[in-house]
Amino acid sequence: MSMADMTTSRPEEASAGHADGGSGAPARECVELSVERWRCGAVTKERDLIAEEMPVALVYHGVPHVVMLATPADLEDYAVGFTLSEGLVAHPDEIRGVEVVWAKDSAEVRITVAWERFSALVDRRRNLTGRSGCGFCGQETVAQAVREAKPVGPGARLSAAELHDAIAQLAGLQPINARTGSVHAAAWIVPGKGIQLVREDVGRHNALDKTIGALVRSGLDPTGGALLLTSRASFEIVQKSAAVGVAFVAAFSAPTAFAVRLAERVGLTLVAFAREHQHVVYAHPWRLEPQ
């Protein structure tokens, strides 16, 4: 199966939150509940939308690899992005197929890869549960967790105006967060074109993997744009981005020193505290034009 065969979303949609996939009925991305809301001493009974979260098992050739807690949307994108950003394959062509199978309270994503990659994958199997906010969940050794990414290439350059236009635009491209206020987003920005796609998830790493998977499945070049995330810039955010060749990452919140050191080593431009009328560049500022 080719990447085109697995594509269900297009970059021009610039949207997120459409569950799709294989057998059974896709889960809802959010649920409506009865709540009691307290304001200034007064209590009212209301209906509220909250984001869904469920176990998502990634299974390679029938062998369980990891179970993550994630928003049940765009799981094919997630599987492709995770497989690439974790270095389980070296190239998208080595991913041969993805199928999402829905159960009542969980989902299983069945992935096939080139046989030689599967043999290596079994040796570093991560058959443990990961939280939605998890970075290194399930890694057995420090060497597995702190994989040194290869240096990135020249990558894309953005102007400060383009970055801040994207920051202002992103809030309107997060339909799940607009309803629930509780999910992260990762957006793909192309110079001169703005945000081309967005994916959302309760976990920042999951949102990033979904966006990586979506851009690869849509035939977009990971070296031709920048990532914007509504989260902090942790080590694994930089690690996953660099693993697929992304050379420019901007985050709404703070970075960690571990992430900054990795960005410096691999040549990745890292911007944090990217908010209206402000940002801070922590590594390789030459890709961000001041005007």
Active site residues: 134
Distance CA 113, CA 96 (A): 5
Distance CA 164, CA 276 (A): 7
Contact status, residue 216 vs residue 92, Cβ threshold 8 Å: yes
Q: Which residues are CB-neighbours of 91 under 8 A, at least 6 positions away?
A: none
Bridge partners of 287, per DSSP, are none
Beta strands in the chain (DSSP E): 30-39, 42-51, 54-60, 63-70, 95-102, 107-113, 129-130, 158-159, 184-190, 194-201, 226-229, 248-251, 269-275, 278-283, 288-289
Distance CA 210, CA 225 (A): 16
Q: Is 249 strand, coil or helix?
A: strand
Distance CA 90, CA 196 (A): 24
Nearest to 133 by CA among 89, 87, 183, 85: 183
Q: Which residues are CB-neighbours of 167 under 8 A, at least 6 positions away?
A: 228, 252, 274, 275, 276
Amino acid at 174: Q
Distance CA 171, CA 132 (A): 21
Contact status, residue 19 vs residue 74, Cβ threshold 8 Å: yes
